[in-house]
Chain A
Amino acid sequence: MRSEAGVGLKLGAAAGLLFLHLPLVLIFVYAFTTEEKSYQFPPPGYTTRWFSAAWFDRPDIWPPLILSLKVALIATVLALIFGTLAAAALHRARFYGRDSISLLFILPIALPGIITGIALRSAFDIMGLPFSTWTIVLGHATFTIVVVYNNVLARFRRTSQSMIEASMDLGANGPQTFRHVILPQIASALLAGGMLAFALSFDEVIVTTFTAGQQSTLPIWMLNELLRPRQRPVTNVVAIIVIAVTFLPILAAYFVTREGEHTAGSGK
């Protein structure tokens, strides 16, 4: 019989969860404050004018936002291709050094971002590569491969090899088997992995500060606002946009993979 949780445990768990969530509420509160020079609490008054200020009066927000979206899109596409290939290969194969190769894909997020950042920076220096959108993409695609790889690998483990064999026995060739048998089975894992990769790239700041040069992505714009604030509530408005852009894909990824567990997981 399962006993009830003690009061102390319940309180501890609840306090921990509150600790995780309450700070984010303040981001929303401060987006409506009338005070723009300090972080005064409680706010002296409330206004919605920062939302229109962010939209109309701050042209400096748009180029970083567009650059971030562009980088995240390209990095996600690259991560989808490389991550899926790697998962497909390592799922099927049993060979010496297989574990080292899977470690290789995990390494870029296991090592602190600053190491990845400075390593790429000094490599660009040595090669004489000028900073561009592509140097940022190069870094992002490297550490987003692993989220696609993990998602797709988990799905491959739950789909059966015999379906592929059956498809081949019934006369389908490789591309047909991929199109009609494999792709439908891994589609939701690809979607989830892709959305996580997008959120990860859109939000990345540490590696980006090393690979961007003079360019500014949205997180770099925000970092500058944090270090040298002006119109502080506008930063909050942008923070809310960032929360929306990252939260929605993550929430969607969660529900997509959860559904997938019931449907695609049935083949043993």
Chain B
Amino acid sequence: MTATVRGSYLFYRRPGLLTLLLLAPPILWIGIVYIGALLALLLQSFYSLDDFSGVIVREFTLKTYGELFERSNIEIIGRTVTMAAAVTVTSAVIAFPISYFAARYARGSTKAMFYLAVMMPLWSSYLVKVYAWKLILAKEGIITWIAGELHLAWALDALLSTPVIGGPSLSISYIGTYLVFVYIWLPYMILPVQAALERVPGNLIEAAADLGATPKQTFRTVILPLALPGVVAGSIFTFSLTLGDYIIPQIVGNSRAFIGQAVYTLQGNAGNIPLAAAFTVVPMLIMGLYLAMAKRLGAFDAL
């Protein structure tokens, strides 16, 4: 018996050994590069920045976490979470008809077309998509033009003069930031909702109709509860991605910061890595709670 043959038999009789050998390189890579880096980050959040010298003091302290509760930082967190919630709800509303049609009525090539039509924007370049919206929302851009052609310029002006969400133009307002977020994350909502709806048995809906439910009642009492895990699964993406993004509000939006931007400025220009690290713990914590809740609602089966 040659060595290779003997080796093959050894692996066949001891599959655990082969598993270990196969698993070691990827586990070491992720373990060292990624988990190691995450732990290093977490460690830094317990350090603090000396206010006078601007040097990082490498001693255990909770002072940095205390700084998170300063008024301006609380505002940043509140603003980001509100945006994430608004984006999530809107994505769910826009996604539902697409998912429902694709899951229940589209067949054959129409279905493939729907799938590609959702997958292509999902995978196409993030920056290109954000750029497209910079073009759309610009003051001299297409929305202003359409509003002018339809004699609706007054409505656009009224929208922009709304306090808080308005601004000098759509590309310098919360409305703009919100629209771009919804656009970019929408496919992440459509796919899990569609997956959940695919699994609603058709005869259940027929049974509801046979038992005298109106289409509206069927929708509310049968379809919606069964689609809910899919919506929750999609919301994990839309919520988490909005919490951590710092490019979109930088390109389209007013100058008020979101969590991502705060982290970026703190670690960059300000050199305050401890506070930046403490800031990243916020989305991690929120997502941890969110995932625990989603798990209880059975959202992971719909992923």
Interface residues of A (CB under 8 A from B): 2, 4-5, 9-10, 12-13, 15-17, 19-21, 23-24, 26-27, 30, 38-42, 78, 81-83, 85-86, 88-90, 92-93, 95, 101, 104-105, 107-108, 110-116, 118-123, 125-126, 138, 141-142, 145, 168, 173-175, 177, 196, 199-200, 203, 205-206, 209-210, 219, 222-223, 226-227, 235-236, 239, 242-243, 246-247, 250-251, 254
Q: How far is the CB of A78 from chain B (nearest CB, A)?
A: 8
Count chain B CB atoms within 10 A of each CB in A5, A20, A101, A219 and give the residue with the most: A20
25 A-B pairs whose Cβ atoms sit less than 8 Å apart in the complex? A5-B104, A5-B105, A9-B105, A16-B95, A38-B140, A39-B134, A39-B140, A41-B138, A41-B141, A78-B29, A89-B22, A93-B19, A95-B19, A105-B30, A114-B245, A118-B41, A118-B276, A119-B34, A121-B267, A142-B33, A173-B4, A203-B125, A203-B126, A227-B251, A243-B128
| A20 engages B117 (CB within 8 Å) | yes
Which residues of B are interface residues toward A (Cβ below 8 A)? 2, 4-5, 7-8, 11-12, 15-16, 18-20, 22-23, 25-27, 29-31, 33-38, 40-41, 44, 94-98, 100-102, 104-105, 114, 116-121, 123-136, 138, 140-142, 144-145, 183, 186-187, 190, 202, 240-241, 243-247, 250-251, 260, 263-264, 267, 273, 276-277, 280, 283-284, 287
Assess the B25–A81 pair: CB atoms within 8 A: yes
Q: Using Cβ atoms and an 8 Å threshold, which residues of chain B touch A205?
A: 126-127, 247
Min CB distance, A20 to chain B, in Å?
Answer: 5
Docked pose: A85 CA to B136 CA in angstroms: 45
Which of B2, B22, B138 meets A88, CB within 8 Å?
Answer: B22
Task: Verify B125–A243 contact, CB threshold 8 A.
Answer: yes
Contact status A108-B34, CB under 8 Å: yes
Which partner residue on chain A sits nearest B6 by CB separation? A173
The 4 nearest A-B residue pairs measured at CB = A112-B244, A12-B97, A89-B22, A123-B37
A169 to chain B, nearest CB (A): 10
Task: Please measure, in the bound complex, the distance between the C-alpha atom of A173 and the C-alpha atom of B125, giving whole angstroms.
Answer: 44
Complex Cα–Cα for A9 and B25 (A)? 49
Contacts of A118 in B (CB 8 A): 41, 263, 267, 276-277, 280
Give B101's nearest chain A residue, CB to CB: A13
B34 in contact with A5 (CB, 8 Å): no
Q: How far is the CB of B194 from chain A (nearest CB, A)?
A: 11
Shortest C-beta distance, B84 to chain A (Å), equals 11
Q: CA A132 – CA B171 in complex, angstroms?
A: 35
Contact (Cβ within 8 A) A174 B97: no
User: Is B8 within 8 A of A219, CB to CB?
Assistant: no
Q: Which of B27, B96, B240, B283 counts the most A-chain CB atoms under 10 A from its CB?
A: B27
Cross-chain contact B125 with A246 (CB below 8 angstroms): yes
Q: Is B22 a contact partner of A85 (Cβ separation < 8 A)?
A: yes
Instruction: Give B2's nearest chain A residue, CB to CB.
Output: A173
Interface of B is mostly: helix
Q: In the complex the two chains form, what is the Cα distance from A208 to B116 in whole Å?
A: 28
Q: Are B124 and A145 in contact (CB under 8 A)?
A: no
A12-B97, A41-B141, A122-B40 known; A85-B25 Cβ under 8 A? yes
Residue of A40, A86, A121, A254 near B116 (CB, 8 A) is A254
| Chain A residues positioned under 8 Å from B245 (CB to CB) | 112-114, 206
Q: Is the CB of B202 within 8 A of A2?
A: yes
Docked complex Cα distance between A2 and B107 (Å): 11
- Cα A205 to Cα B29 in complex, Å, equals 22
Answer whether A16 and B8 are a contact pair too, CB < 8 Å, given A39-B141, A114-B260.
no
Contacts A82-B25, A116-B34, A118-B280 known; A24 to B247 CB distance under 8 Å?
no
Query: Are the CB atoms of B121 and A20 closer together than 8 Å?
Result: yes
Residues of B within 8 A of A226 (CB): 127, 130-131, 134, 251
Complex Cα distance, B114 from A86, in Å, reads 32
Question: What 6 new A-B contacts, CB under 8 Å, besides A9-B105, A145-B30?
Answer: A12-B97, A20-B187, A27-B131, A86-B22, A141-B33, A205-B126
By the criterion CB–CB under 8 Å, are A38 and B138 in contact?
A: yes
A219 vs B251: C-alpha distance when bound (angstroms): 14
Known contacts A27-B135, A104-B35: does B124 contact A113 (CB below 8 Å)?
no
A243 to B128, CA, bound (A): 8
Contact partner of B4 (CB less than 8 A), chosen from A108, A122, A175, A242, is: A175
> Contact: A115 with B135, CB < 8 Å?
no
In the assembly, what is the distance between CA of A141 and CA of B244, in Å? Answer: 20
Contact B100 A9 (CB under 8 A): yes
Assembly CA distance A15 to B98 (angstroms): 9
Are the C-beta atoms of A115 and B27 separated by less than 8 Å? no
Which chain A positions have C-beta within 8 A of B247? 205-206, 223
